[in-house]
Amino acid sequence: MPLYSGLDLNGFNGSAMRPDCAIAFVLPAASGSRYSDPGAGSRGCGNGSHRAMIGRGIFNQRLVAVFFLGWLLLGFPMLAAFDRPVFVFGIPLLYAYVLCAWALLIVLLALIVERRR
């Protein structure tokens, strides 16, 4: 008996992913082919969860992109570029930049999360 017998590790509700199932994600579905509806009973590769899995993938990719944007905006080279003795509305330029970059990241995360709903 496998250690993870009840755990769905690949997103297909316990069904093993066949190698030909990956073609459904890469190639456009031909009319009448068994890949046109992956959730069509035993003929397809799963139970129709492919669209949900693709949606989760795009969602996760956007979150990773925002993470790397934050890493870029709040990383040393960008902070060093804004570390000048200049004031914007009485606030040091570095503090204003960090505040604006942080606000931008929060807005982007809110848009991504709310768009998913």
Mean pLDDT throughout 80-96? 97
How confident is the model over 12-69, as pLDDT tens digits? 444 444 444 444 444 444 555 454 445 544 445 555 566 666 778 999 999 999 999 9
pLDDT category at 77 given cuts 50, 70, 90 is very high
CA separation, residue 22 to residues 42, 45, 83, 88 (Å): 16, 9, 49, 53
pLDDT of residue 54: 74
pTM listed for this prediction = 0.55
What is 23-81 written as a DSSP string?
A: HHHHSPPPTT-TTS-TTSGGGSSSSS-HHHHHHHHHHHHHHHHHHHHHHHHTSHHHHHH
CA distance 70 to 59: 17
What's at 58, amino acid-wise?
A: I
Mean pLDDT of the chain: 75
* Beta-bridge mates of residue 91: 88
CA distance 61 to 116: 13
What ranges do the domains of the chain cover? 1-48, 52-117
pLDDT of residue 12: 45
CA distance 110 to 60: 14
